[in-house]
Structure formats: structure tokens, C-alpha cells
Amino acid sequence: MGAERHKQRRPRKNLSCIPCKDRKIKCDRNCRWGDERDDVKPDKGPEPWYEEQKPLKSTVPQPAKHIFLDTLPMLPTILLAELVETDMFRWRKEMQTHLDKLPGWEATLDMVSFYMSNMEPIICCMNSAIFNRQLHDLWVQLTWVYGSAKPKSIAESIAGSLGAAPVPREVQEMLFWTDARNYGLLALLFIIINTVEQVKRSDAAFQQDSLDETTAKPCIYFLQHSNYLEEPTLWTLQTCVLLQHYYFRSSRIALGAAWSATAVHLAKLMGLNRLGSAVKDIMHLQMKQETAEDHMLIGMPWARAFAPGDPPQRELGRKIWSTLVTMDWYKSLHVNFNHMVSDNMNYTDLPLALEDDELERMASMSLETLQNRDRVSPNLYVQHQFRIARVVRDISEISLQRLSQGLSVKLPYEHLLEIDSRLHRILQSLPDVLRFDGVTENTQHIRQIHASHSYLPLQRLFMQASVHSRLLRMHMHFLTDGLEDTQYRYSANTCIASACIVIAVWEELQRAKNPQEILNYMMRWHLMVSALALFYVLEFLAKHPECDGMSEEIRTPKLRHAFIIVTAFLEKLKPFMPFDKYGIQANPIDGLSRYSDHLRAQDQNTKGLRMESGIPAVPMAQRAGLAELEPPAWVESSWTLDDAALLSAIQQWLLGEEGGAGVPGWSTMPLHNTTM
């Protein structure tokens, strides 16, 4: 028996299974490869069964589908920049799969130009001269992606636009793609194209589209592979800003807020919150001096200065940082009263008043020119929006303090008047090129400036809307009291004036066919509040025609026509305002439209809303409870009591006038709070 066992033994070299032998480890024949057979033949190479069971590992990770929809993108395990040197075939295939969604050179230039003209003046995160140069350099590098492969639509477009065959494999092109940060420029380009494509949509379908079905998917993909969390760049921050607007437009507030917070955090790591003064940078550069932060602090790799010795990049960083801070402060009043940037962590001056084409030659400009903050430039809007956002931040802090004490976030009237005074001081200090009063902008001098600086007319409209929407939201709490009591009459006057200005701004946008008419998500809700304010005023006047001190102008067709205009706008925007998403089944715009139809029937000779004729003021009114008023006779036919109750509920939902602690609808509708 012992001899037979000895004959059945295999040589020691055959005891291990093939996978274990390849790894030069001892195999007990019960390893995870499941090799328990005795007929191992190591000299003939791997058996077919092993090839079938060998784990397949893709060199390029495939993120889960939900990563594009509900979460911030995580960094892949293998970046495209690493794949360039290890597996060129797979790299080209991955790149071409996403780049095929890129339009041709001419179409891309048109989209970028459209964005710079119509959206960038309000978003304020880019420099057109710098980006156009970077875009041309990127397009040259894209030719190497296709190499000698069969040209596709984009390859033909690239080669044709450059008037030459695709660039061969040269070291300099390869080095461009081995730097992971350069993929961030592709991400930025795709989100710009996505933003412009939304303008072409005449419906609200883009709100239901997933990122997998739009050009935002390549943006997320290339942002992942840019290693943006470990090596953030200005392209990273610009992409985050546009992604935040992408989610806000589609009413996905939590994701928009997450992108905003991510951008602020990355900007701090880059040192954008301690850039200091641009004038001092130029002085140090001219004197060949080094700043103290040029040297990295021991143990703090993130404490390096951002782009030392490169004034244009540092100045662009100041513009982006100012925009991030402004959005952070505005967002705090829409989401949860919290902000990420305080004054004691912000040591960056506001951007200089420079045109885009002046930025790259700012080092040769005189200090007197650089120090002039009143020069006409796109950054005038950034400077004054920053001032407004600071007031909004203070409102948010007061509201958070009251909310933490179990009080209503409705501001005390003395606090409201103080904030009102600050906002009006900002309005009075605006330069003439940003005014919208019906007089200043019609002068010959201002018209010439607006004609030579195409971004100013759009910026002045949104500057006024930013201030008056805040005034309207604050004073809306006291609108009813202002109509009934002379003590709060100022609030009623302010509500009417601010509502008319917000409507006039939207009327100008519609007349100019500006895409902000549809894309700007906050203006939709400002219009809704304006319609509610005018509705309550008109309802009060219809029920109290005999009130002492009521002026004839309040009941003129002018005020009614303002309401008719705003309801017409809301009808157009109704697909973009998903009330059912927040538990409101009956759309309040339908009720407002029925009320507007009756006003239109009563006054067929309505004149247009003219800013130059002045804003009507609410006259004196006797003290009376609105709840006790009888509806006019025509209400029974079309304006039902259910509609009126619905509007009352909407007012509480938007403004939180519950008189106690908490905010109605707060958990379901973070877009609006009670103090905006």
C-alpha cells in the first residue's frame, strides 16, 4: 500500500495550481482559484478554464450610473492621464467616446461667444480673452486624440478648422494629456455647451433629463479625471460654478448647494481667500520683491501662494473668489441660513475695474488706472453685487439667531427698516451706467456707453432686480398692515414700487429676447412674489373704493396692467416652476391668470408700464381687517373662494407668515425663505 501511495505522488513542482505557480506561492490545492485537479500540466500554459475564471479588470473604471445623478463625482482609481502612457488604445477609445458629443469648431465658437455675451455678465466667473486663447490651444491638442484613426465628425472639423492634417504623436502633445489638470478645461467646455443648449429648449424638458442624456455627462466624466479634489485649478472652480447653476435651474437645490460648498472649499485650499490686493502684486512685481507667502509654510503644503508672479491669473482668481463668496451669501438665505465664508477668513480684495482684454497686460498699466474702481468694466457688477450679498448675509445671520431661539424668522420692523436703509444706500451709490430709473439710462452719454459695452444693459437690470426683490420679500410681511395702518404705510409703498420694478426688469428681458428670461431660476420666483403683492393691493382697492386718502393713481390701469404683465410672464414660465414637486397640486398661476382675465376685461385701454412716469405709492387707508372684507360681485363668476384660499396658502408658503416659530414648507421648498 505504501509503495502505491509513493507512485501516485506528483513531483513537487506540480503540486501548485497554475495561478499560484505564476505568483510563486505555495498552493494547498484549495486556494481561491479552486484548482483541485490532479491533471495539472504546467508546461502547456494556461488551460481554457483558467482564462474563463480569471477576473477581468478594466483599465478604465466605469462609474455607477447614479454617480452622475445624485452625488458629487468621486475620483476614479485610474486617471486618463495615467492611461496615456500605459494603454494608448484604451485612452483614445475613452476620449473619442465622449468627444464625439462635442460640436464642430465653428459651432463651439458660436456657443462660447453666445455664453460670454448673454450669461457670463451675470455669472461672472470667466475672462473671455483668456478662455478664447485656452480654447484654441485645447483644440490643437484634440487633434492628437484621433491620431491616424479614421476621422469622425469632430476629427474632420478639427483638421479642417486648422487647415492641416491631424498633429502626429509628438512629445509635447502627449505631455499635455499626461497632466490630469488639463482635463478640467474639457469639463469646463462641456458645461458651457450644456448651458447654451438649454437656451435652445423651448420647454422645461431639460429639468427631467438626467445628466446621462445631456452634454453634462462628459463634463462630469472629465472633471473626475482632472483629479479636481487633489489638484484643483481655476477651471475646476469655474466648472463647479456652472454646475451649481445647472442644478439650481432644474430645482435640485441640495446638489446645487453641494457644488457651491465644494467650490468654496477648494478655493480656500488653493489660497484664493488670501490673494490680497492686485495693486500690491503689481508693485511687488515691479520692485522684484517676493511676498511672504511665496514660501511654503513648514508642514502646510496648501499654504503656498496661488500663481505667484502671474498677476493675470491671480486677478482672475480674485474674480472667481468674489463670485463664490457672493453666491455663498446669497445661497444662505435660500437654503438653511448658513454660509461658509466669514469676514475673518477673507483677505482677498475685489477684482479691479478692468476689461477682459486688459487683464493680460495689467502689469504694464499705471497704478493710477488700476486703482480707479469707477472705470467701466464687467467687474463693476461684481463689486456691487458683493455689497448686496453682504446685506443678505446679515439678514441670514439674524434669521438663524431668531430661529435657534424658537422665534419667527419674520424680522422685527426696526431691523427691517435698518436693512432697508442699507439697500437704498447701495442703490443711491450705483454708477449711472447701472441705474434703472427711466431717466438716467435715457441720456445720450449713458446710451453711448451702453452701446460700446454690451454687458452693461443686462447687468443694470439684474442689479436692480437683486435689490428690489430683497426689499419686496422683506416688506411683504407688512403689506397687509401697510394697507390698513399708516404706521406701516412705508412697507406697502415699497412693495408696490419694488414689484413694479421687478416686472419692468422682466419686461426688458423679454423685449431683448435675452435667455436669462427663461434660465434665471430666481427671477421666476421674484415674479411670483411680485404678482402676489399686486394681487393683494388690487384686491384691497377693489373692496375699499371709498377709503379716505386713496389716490386715483392707485386704481389707474397702470397698476392693473403691471399685474396683467406679470401673470402673462408667469403663464410662460409655468412649465419651469414645478409646484407639484413641493406638494402643491393646484398651480397658483392658474388662479392669478383668472384674476388677470377679469382685470383685462374691465380695462381694455390699459397703457404700458412706463418707468419714467414714476412708481405709484399706496395712499392712506382706514384700518380694516382683510379677512372680514366681502369679495366683489364678479368674484363669484370666475375668481372662486378656493382660488383666494390657495393664494393665501401660497403666501404663507413663500413668506412664512405664520406668526410663530419655524417656516412653513421649509423642508419641501428650500428655494424660498421668509426674509428674502
Q: Where is the domain boundary, 29, 53, 77?
A: 53
Radius of gyration of the chain (CA): 31
Binned at pLDDT 50, 70 and 90, residue 536 comes out as: confident
Each residue's pLDDT tens digit, 606-632: 444 444 333 333 333 332 333 333 333
Over 80: is that where the pLDDT of 529 sits?
yes
Give the model's confidence band at 590: pLDDT under 50 very low, under 70 low, under 90 confident, else very high.
Answer: confident
Give how far Cα 543 sits from Cα of 268, 421, 595, Å: 56, 32, 14
| Number of other residues whose CB lies within 10 A of the CB of residue 309 | 13
3-class SS at 1?
coil
Q: For the segment 443-474, what is each residue's pLDDT rounded down to a tens digit?
A: 999 999 999 999 999 999 999 999 999 999 99
Is residue 27 assigned to a domain? yes
* pLDDT tens digits, one per residue of 263-276: 999 999 999 999 99
Query: The domain containing residue 440 runs over which residues?
Result: 406-655
How far apart are the C-alpha atoms of 618 and 553, rounded to whole Å?
Answer: 9
Asked if residue 187 belongs to a domain, the reply is: no
Vertex 465: Cα angle to 112 and 321 (nearest 5): 55
- H/E segment holding residue 323: helix 311-332
Instruction: Pick from 32-36, 83-87, 321-325, 468-472 the range whose average pLDDT is largest.
Output: 321-325
Burial degree of 636 (CB within 10 A; 0-12, 13-18, 19+): exposed
The answer to which of 203-212, 258-267, 400-409 has the lowest mean pLDDT is 203-212
The angle that helices 128-146 and 171-178 make with each other, rounded to 10 degrees, is 110
Say if 629 falls within a structural domain.
Answer: yes
Each residue's pLDDT tens digit, 203-240: 445 444 544 456 788 999 999 999 999 999 999 999 99
Q: Can you tell me the distance from the alpha carbon of 24 to that of 302, in angstroms, rounded to the nearest whole number?
A: 44
Helix, coil or strand: residue 16: coil
Q: Is the pLDDT at 281 greater than 80, yes or no?
A: yes
Q: Which of 248, 228, 129 is nearest to 187 (CA)?
A: 228
Q: Is residue 334 part of a domain?
A: no
How many domains does the chain contain in total?
2
Question: Is there a domain that residue 293 lies in?
Answer: no
Residue 168 lies inside a defined structural domain of this protein? no
Residue 507 CB partners (closer than 8 Å, separation 6+): 565, 609
Residue 89 CB partners (closer than 8 Å, separation 6+)? none
Beta-carbon contacts of residue 290 (< 8 Å; ≥ 6 apart): 284, 308
d(CA 240, CA 262): 8
Helix 588-602 / helix 557-573 crossing angle, nearest 10 deg: 140
Interval 67-107: pLDDT, tens: 344 445 566 667 899 988 888 889 999 999 999 989 989 99
Q: By the 8 A CB rule, do 252 and 522 touch?
A: no
Q: Average pLDDT, whole number, for the chain?
A: 76
pLDDT at 135 over 90: yes
Residue 585 reports pLDDT greater than 60: yes
Q: Which of 272, 293, 260 is nearest to 350 (CA)?
A: 272
pLDDT of residue 216: 82
41-67: pLDDT as tens digits:
444 444 444 344 444 444 444 444 433
How much is the pTM?
Answer: 0.78
Model pLDDT for residues 633-670, shown as the tens digit of each residue: 333 334 454 555 555 555 555 554 433 332 223 333 33
Q: What are phi and psi of 348, to 5 degrees?
A: -120, 130
Max Cα-Cα span within the chain? 125
pLDDT at 273: 95
CA distance 470 to 98: 42
What DSSP string runs through 405-455?
TT--SSPPHHHHHHHHHHHHHHHHHS-GGG--SSSGGGSHHHHHHHHH-TH
> For the range 394-398, what are the long-range contacts, defined as Cβ-Cβ under 8 Å and sequence gap of 24 or more?
394/419, 395/333, 395/419, 395/470, 395/474, 395/675, 395/676, 396/329, 396/332, 396/333, 396/337, 396/338, 396/339, 396/675, 397/337, 398/675
Question: How many whole angstroms separate alpha carbon 669 and alpha carbon 251?
Answer: 9
In a domain? residue 379: no
Does any domain span residue 422? Answer: yes
Q: What is the pLDDT of residue 54?
A: 42
